[in-house]
Amino acid sequence: MQPNRIDREALIDLATGAAFLGSGGGGDPYYARLLGEAEIARRGAFGLVSLDSLADDALVVPCGWIGAPTVSVEKLPNGREALNGLRKLAEIMGKPIDAVMPIEIGGGNGLAPLLAAAELGIPVVDADGMGRAFPESQMAIFNIEGLSACPSVVTSSCGSLSVIETDDNLEHERQARKLSVELGGTAHMVEYPLSGADAKAHAIGGSITAAIAIGRAVREARAAGADPFAALYAALVDTGLYPHSGALFDGKIVDLERETRGGFSVGRVIIEGFNGQGRMEMEFQNENLIATVDGVVRAMVPDLITVMDRETADSITTERLRFGQRVKVVGAAAPDKLRTERALAIVGPGAFGLADAYRPIETLNDWGNG
């Protein structure tokens, strides 16, 4: 099967769509987009292949950044972290890597594998391991399905490289998180090396083209003077991965608490509603975890909660939230793979210490647009 291509326009759309799918996390994709545009100017479009095109014995490697997004705003990468990590993993595995994929489609991590893939001359798989962004590496679908994160390679902007070997994926997360803190608060990680057969069985397929479609819908609506939010909701449902979506709240940020703690950006934001809507309060750990309006839950993990500029429909990551921003909070149902009983034990509210039992976003908001 001949690969599809991610050209400059598709890259820009991917950045827009991935920013939304990050649910506030994954890192702002702006810098990754700039690097990607420069790479396209040098080498041409990035290669993209479907899961179905992979050979069963192919070596497919997810990768992305670990750490606090607040740090990544000021601490830029050197551009070779992913490449160095992938080369080391190929050495450990004793075979060449056939393809890469984002560990999560959300935010800058949705674009993270592109440059390294181009340098290695291999494609990116149209899939990821989360269908959104989550703050911890054991929250990937591959762990939920019982696959090992190791061997794993952590690289930093200063050139250091560390290999993690453990049979316990939660211990892997702890070791990688500690490394990321010691390396300045952020690092790149290559993890969950997969066979083509395992990738086809477990990865969340079509998430890159879904992100591109979401970004394209917003861009075209803006250009036509149409409502970008209406276009966003329709595009989300059309992907088949996010069957329900809609507005949760509309207002102005009036209070914000945020700190970098334990390798995460954690805090809460309060939004005063327009037209007597009351107040929305959200808690976040890199990603937005739960949103309540006057104490009533409107959305919770693993469903997506994204804060957006109410005029432009630009997604605002948690590290870029500011007092006084006029925003619209948008929600979307998570992919079905994240809503099983086994998945909710790892990515549901309880995994973040939240007291509320999971209830689907479409139930909480009486949506029926799926």
Predicted pLDDT at 360: 97
Predicted pLDDT at 265: 84
Cis bond upstream, residue 151 (ω within 30): yes
In the chain, which segments carry CATH 2.40.390.10?
Answer: 242-364
Predicted pLDDT at 184: 82
Q: How confident is the model at residue 2 (pLDDT cuts 50, 70, 90)?
A: very low
Mean pLDDT of 187-194: 96
Smallest CA-to-CA distance from 23 within 279, 211, 261 is with 211
Predicted pLDDT at 287: 94
pLDDT at 351 over 70: yes
Amino acid at 162: S
Using CB atoms within 10 Å of the CB of residue 17, give its burial: 0 to 12 exposed, 13 to 18 middle, 19+ buried. Answer: buried
Question: What tens digit of pLDDT does each residue of 96-122 get?
Answer: 999 999 999 999 999 999 999 999 999
Q: How confident is the model at residue 51 (pLDDT cuts 50, 70, 90)?
A: very high
pLDDT at 140 over 90: yes
The answer to whether 344 touches 336, Cβ cutoff 8 Å, is no
pTM (two decimals): 0.95
Q: Which residues contact 204 (CB under 8 A, 6 or more apart)?
A: 105, 127, 128, 129, 130, 131, 141, 241, 335, 337
- CB-side exposure of 115: number of CA atoms within 13 Å? 24
Q: Please provide the average confidence, as pLDDT, over all residues in the chain.
A: 93
Question: What tens digit of pLDDT does each residue of 228-264 get?
Answer: 999 999 999 999 999 999 999 999 999 999 988 887 8
Predicted pLDDT at 3: 44
Tokens of 344: 């909710």
Question: What tens digit of pLDDT does each residue of 11-21 get?
Answer: 999 999 999 99
H helices within the chain, ranges in order? 8-21, 30-43, 69-72, 81-93, 114-120, 141-144, 169-182, 196-202, 207-224, 228-238, 341-347, 361-364
Tokens of 196: 């083509």
Q: Is the domain covering 4-205 a CATH 3.40.1610.10 domain? A: yes
Kind of pairing, strands 204-205 and 127-128? antiparallel
Using CB atoms within 10 Å of the CB of residue 353, give its burial: 0 to 12 exposed, 13 to 18 middle, 19+ buried. Answer: exposed
Q: How confident is the model at residue 75 (pLDDT cuts 50, 70, 90)?
A: low
Tokens of 164: 């993690």
Q: Which residues contact 176 (CB under 8 A, 6 or more apart)?
A: 66, 137, 152, 154, 164, 187, 189, 191
Predicted pLDDT at 370: 46
pLDDT at 213 over 90: yes
Mean pLDDT of 203-211: 97
Taking the C-alpha atoms of residue 16 and residue 147, their distance in angstroms, rounded to an integer, is 30
Q: How confident is the model at residue 367 (pLDDT cuts 50, 70, 90)?
A: confident
Question: What tens digit of pLDDT does each residue of 266-277 get?
Answer: 999 999 999 888
pLDDT at 68 over 70: no
Mean pLDDT of 157-166: 91
Q: How confident is the model at residue 54 (pLDDT cuts 50, 70, 90)?
A: very high
CATH of 242-364, one of 3.20.20.70, 1.10.1470.10, 2.40.390.10, 2.60.40.10: 2.40.390.10
In the chain, which segments carry CATH 3.40.1610.10?
Answer: 4-205
Smallest CA-to-CA distance from 203 within 138, 129, 147 is with 129
